[in-house]
Amino acid sequence: MTVDDGQWLQERFAGQRGRLQAVAYRMLGSAEEAEDAVQDAWLRVSRADTGAVQNLDAWLTTVVARVCLNVLRSRRTRREVGLDEHLPEAAAEPAPDAGPEQQAVLADSVGLALLVVLDTLTPAERLAFVLHDMFDLPFEEIAPIVDRSPAAARQLASRARRRVRGEPVPARDLPRQRRVVDAYLAATRTGDLSGLLAVLDPDVVLRADRFVSPAGQQVEVRGAAAVARGALASAARARHTEPALVDGAVGLVSAPGGRLLVALTFVVVADRITEIDVVGEPDRLAELRIAPLPT
């Protein structure tokens, strides 16, 4: 590769960096890991012979995808280490080197609920779904990355798509639930005590398991005032919490890096929240059906 070729390749890569970062973020759910993956991909690209590459943009995408696939496979082998060693409050804040503004933009563009669902897929399913459904890469180009035939890659994406869409749920109550849960989340984020009291039933009951309780024990809180004070105390975590379908109803998920750490389920009666269940126990979280809210 000549000096001119190297300069040209560097400029082409720089022009694609934003898109490659988006691919890596959807694959990994972490802005910091996505940046590392793109940088790793550049190191590989800069040493490669690109003379026979016909579609450079697609080729760069596959290089990044291969790097991300290796990260996902490595992550899967040490899955047990993550949830048990980090309290939700500590994990809620993004890593300082991740670029908070960039991470916020990326998260808004994807949605935490979708990242949670993507994190339940196998690495091959996630790659096939992300590359095909989000970035229009044909299965003929996806297949070699996951060591499958194009037909098998199509099946991987199909299985992932069913998980992402979630199971059919009755839609009649979802808009009302969404309004109430949105109001609860907004008031929590902004420290609006009166806003919380407006959506909480006077006799509301909140139950939290020991994985989310500061005391490390299961707790039960009764009454709107007490529940509202507890919600305000979790304002930091609320900044990284988004609405999602949780077991078919509107709930909230806290998922820094796309890894589900806490889920809140609600019972809404007459536009007031009467029950809140805060779940942080890994086994219980694994049993929940999480899906993005219908648009």
Q: Assess whether 120 and 242 both reside in one domain.
A: no
Q: Give residues with Cβ within 8 angstroms of 103, minimum separation 6.
A: 31, 32, 94
Q: Assess whether 138 and 239 both reside in one domain.
A: no
Looking at the domain assignment, is residue 87 inside a domain?
no
Q: Give residues with Cβ within 8 angstroms of 215, minimum separation 6.
A: none
Helix (H, G, I), strand (E, B) or coil at 26: helix
- Residue 93 has what pLDDT? 35
Looking at the domain assignment, is residue 97 inside a domain?
no
Looking at the domain assignment, is residue 140 inside a domain?
yes
Q: Of 147, 165, 183, which marks where a domain is finished?
A: 165
Please list the pLDDT of the chain residue by residue as tens digits (295 residues): 554 667 888 898 999 999 999 999 999 988 889 999 999 999 998 888 777 778 888 899 999 999 999 998 887 655 433 333 333 333 333 333 445 445 544 555 567 778 888 887 888 889 999 999 999 999 999 999 988 888 888 888 988 887 787 654 455 578 999 999 999 999 999 999 999 999 999 999 898 988 988 778 888 899 999 999 999 998 888 888 999 998 788 999 998 777 889 999 998 888 999 889 899 988 888 878 888 888 7
Looking at the domain assignment, is residue 98 inside a domain?
no
* Domain membership of residue 255 as a residue range: 174-291
Looking at the domain assignment, is residue 106 inside a domain?
no
Q: Assess whether 136 and 222 both reside in one domain.
A: no
Length of the chain: 295
Looking at the domain assignment, is residue 84 inside a domain?
no
CATH of the domain at 228: 3.10.450.50
Q: Assess whether 30 and 138 both reside in one domain.
A: yes
- Residue 240 has what pLDDT? 85
CATH of the domain at 133: 1.20.140.160
Residue 103 phi, psi dihedral angles, 5° rounding: -65, -40
Which run of H or E residues covers position 139? Answer: helix 139-142
Q: Assess whether 146 and 210 both reside in one domain.
A: no
Looking at the domain assignment, is residue 85 inside a domain?
no
Side-chain-side CA neighbours of residue 179 (13 Å): 8
Strands 219-222, 200-208: parallel, antiparallel or unpaired by DSSP? antiparallel
Q: Assess whether 286 and 179 both reside in one domain.
A: yes
Q: How many domains does the chain have?
A: 2
Q: Assess whether 204 and 141 both reside in one domain.
A: no
Q: Assess whether 146 and 228 both reside in one domain.
A: no
Q: Assess whether 131 and 221 both reside in one domain.
A: no
Q: Assess whether 245 and 275 both reside in one domain.
A: yes
- The amino acid present at 99, given as its one-letter code, is G
Looking at the domain assignment, is residue 94 inside a domain?
no
Q: Assess whether 178 and 57 both reside in one domain.
A: no
- What is the pTM assigned to this prediction? 0.59
- Residue 206 has what pLDDT? 92
Q: Assess whether 151 and 236 both reside in one domain.
A: no
Q: Of 119, 140, 165, which marks where a domain is finished?
A: 165
Helix (H, G, I), strand (E, B) or coil at 252: strand
Strands (DSSP E) along the chain, which ranges?
200-208, 219-222, 241-246, 249-254, 262-269, 272-279, 290-291
Q: Of 143, 165, 187, which marks where a domain is finished?
A: 165
- Residue 109 has what pLDDT? 56
